Structure 1
Amino acid sequence: MPFLTTSLVLFAFAVSAVRGESHTVTFVNKCGKGMPRLIQGSSTLSTGAAHTVNGPLIGAIAYLQTGSCGFNGESCTMVETTLKNPTTPGSGSSTDITLIAPHKFSVTTGFKYTNGCSTGADCTSASCKTAFHVSTDTQVQVACQANNVNLEITFCD
């Protein structure tokens, strides 16, 4: 019987550890126009409402659809993000702003982590130094190594 009890406790712990990871992406649109988009692969996760994922959010993008953006944010300022709990040092969340073609500056865009980290970045012009302009601009990536970190994306701040 002790083996069964130990097995049940370990199973419950494993399930709660998996279910315990959660990340929420929220939007603040101060532009007075447009609709925020959160995309992962070929799926639209949000058109402005807060979006919570139970588990990691890998390879998502966000932008303000003003009518000129392609589905993957082409022709617009885009935020790229992976939100995940770190399993080893340096393996947690990473977010950046990209202006690498076919993306280009469309509106002031910024982000900040909440619930564990308070870092972020803002891009207020086509020449901002906080965005990718070429693929080697890796210094603009903003990392967070906190569990269950959230992301707030702001347009026109």
Structure 2
Amino acid sequence: MFSIKLAAFTAIAFAAGQALAETHTVTFANNCGYGTPTLIGQGGAVLSTGGAYTSNGALIGAIAYLQTGSCGFNGEGCTLVETTLVNPTSAGSGSSTDISLISPHAFSVTTGFGYLGGCAPAGADCNNANCNTAFHQPDDTFVQVACQEDNANLVITFCS
């Protein structure tokens, strides 16, 4: 009898853990007709070259850009999207995404992003080298777009 109760408890705990598991998906909409959307994770791992990427857990410090042939591996010379997607554990500790034009990054194509789900329509677009929605200096923190919902998903758009 004890083993049946233990097995039932284990099954319920496993199911509850699966229901509460943290996941985040990044998708791309490339409307340019050229280039390869690229998502790079911490440590330099290529996570996606255009397809949807789902992280089973937090996605910390990822970068994305449209590889047009002139971008460096870390998006040098191109418009960069930086993101951390993480479930909030306290106020202000959730996801944050921004566009960066801080050198060595530079405007290359119109780039935007938007959260899906509970934080929609929060996001930003940058359509020129002087847009006020991108980092130009390291202290331009007002351009960061936060999401304080669990399992935040993101769509990154090029040439919108």
Normalised TM-score (structure 1): 0.91
**C-alpha distance after superposition, 1:4-60 (max 9, x if no partner):** 859748953774366x11110000001010000000121000000001111110000
Spell out the pairing of 1:1-157 with structure 2 (5 A cutoff). Answer: 5=6, 8=10, 12=14, 15-16=17-18, 20-40=21-41, 41-118=43-120, 119-157=122-160
Q: Is the 8 A contact 1:26 1:49 kept in 2?
A: yes
Gaps of 5+ in 2: none
User: In structure 1, the residue corresponding to 2:18 is in which secondary structure?
Assistant: helix
CA distance in 2, matches of 1:137, 1:108: 19
The RMSD of aligned alpha carbons is 1.9
Runs of 4+ in structure 1 deviating by more than 6 angstroms, as ranges, are none
CA distance in 2, matches of 1:14, 1:55: 16
Q: How many residues align?
A: 155
Gaps of 5+ in 1: none
User: In structure 2, the residue corresponding to 1:26 is in which secondary structure?
Assistant: strand
